[in-house]
Amino acid sequence: MPALLGKLIIEGAIKAVTGLRIGGSSTGLKIGGVDLNVITDAYGKPYIPGSSLKGKTRHLAERLYNCLPDEKGLHLCKTNENYKKCPVCRLWGTLGTTDFSIPTLTRLIFQDVPIHEDSITEEMRRNMDLHWTEVKWETAIDRRTGTVLHGSLRQVERVPAGAVFGPMRILVSLYEKDDVDLLKTLFESMALLEDDYLGGMGSRGYGQVQFQNLKITWRSAEDYRTGKDGSLIWEGEIAKELVKNFEDIKSKIRLREESL
Ligand SMILES: [Zn+2]
């Protein structure tokens, strides 16, 4: 196994530009009348699960790099040769595949992102149905007749537009020198997410998100050994800027102390 060179820590917040719906267990018992509820933490507050961010950004990166799906519709490299060339599998992992004779490490960690409580204002609450969320009626339309499909009316819970989730933390472990170049793929997938959607019902306008107050810290293996904070190497507003400034960010990541 290669030794850890250090970790890149991407911090910031995620703003729901439109209503955001990340589904919870659809028991329908928790809140009377809501058919599809949002995922909540132990305090009943909505959050963005790290797994949702991880899954969506992986999917978007696969599309951008035209990674071929297998018979189950998932992309997963199965040979050493493919893996070495695949930024997606090297960053997001190989989902426990054991076909490799070279080390395969998941380099990305997406932490759960809590809701920023102050982002739900009293004014918003006056127009909301529940303490943290609003409830919308959604139906399926029969395309032949243009009318509502019988029995398709559902009450759908979503976090209102304007809600902000944070602190967000994405951690990238770097093991090999050329791992630095993989970061570009991560940044691209984040930029794509801003022009796509998170959660459900994206084609109905839900889930438009924007990253905010982005901050990148590099903490080398040496920093961990000596208890140092690491160094703040970049700050910006939206994910597209990460892509644009990739070379600048890359130049500030010092993999070893001797390269100071
Ligand atoms: Zn792959």
Where does residue 151 fall: left (phi above 0), alpha (psi -120 to 50 degrees), or beta otherwise?
left
Contact 233, 249 (CB under 8 A): yes
User: Does residue 11 carry a pLDDT above 70?
Assistant: yes
Question: What separation in Å is there between the alpha carbon of 83 and the centre of ligand 1?
Answer: 5
Question: What separation in Å is there between the alpha carbon of 77 and the centre of ligand 1?
Answer: 4
Contact 65, 91 (CB under 8 A): no
Question: What separation in Å is there between the alpha carbon of 55 and the centre of ligand 1?
Answer: 14
First CA to last CA distance, the chain: 25
Question: What separation in Å is there between the alpha carbon of 213 and the centre of ligand 1?
Answer: 31
- The structural domains of the chain, with segments of one domain joined by +, span 6-252
Question: What separation in Å is there between the alpha carbon of 53 and the centre of ligand 1?
Answer: 18
DSSP state of 189: H
pLDDT at 100: 73
Question: What separation in Å is there between the alpha carbon of 181 and the centre of ligand 1?
Answer: 16
Question: What separation in Å is there between the alpha carbon of 84 and the centre of ligand 1?
Answer: 8
Residue 171's DSSP bridge partners are 9, 109
Name the percent of the chain lying above pLDDT 90: 67
User: Does residue 30 carry a pLDDT above 70?
Assistant: no
**Cα separation of 214 and 198, whole Å?**
18
Question: What separation in Å is there between the alpha carbon of 99 and the centre of ligand 1?
Answer: 13
Q: What is the pTM of this model?
A: 0.90
Question: What separation in Å is there between the alpha carbon of 155 and the centre of ligand 1?
Answer: 39
Question: What separation in Å is there between the alpha carbon of 72 and the centre of ligand 1?
Answer: 14
Which residues neighbour ligand 1 (ion) by CB within 5 Å? 77, 86, 88-89
Radius of gyration of the chain measured on its C-alpha atoms: 21
DSSP state of 10: E
Contact 228, 217 (CB under 8 A): no
User: Does residue 257 carry a pLDDT above 80?
Assistant: no
Question: What separation in Å is there between the alpha carbon of 91 and the centre of ligand 1?
Answer: 9
Question: What separation in Å is there between the alpha carbon of 68 and the centre of ligand 1?
Answer: 8
Question: What separation in Å is there between the alpha carbon of 11 and the centre of ligand 1?
Answer: 26
Closest CA to 235 of 216, 209, 207: 216
Question: What separation in Å is there between the alpha carbon of 219 and the centre of ligand 1?
Answer: 27
For 107-143, write each residue's pLDDT tens digit: 999 999 999 999 999 999 999 989 999 999 888 787 7
- Return the residue matching tokens 């960053």: 91
Contact 232, 223 (CB under 8 A): no
Question: What separation in Å is there between the alpha carbon of 82 and the centre of ligand 1?
Answer: 7
For 182-226, write each residue's pLDDT tens digit: 999 999 999 999 999 999 988 989 999 999 999 999 999 999 999
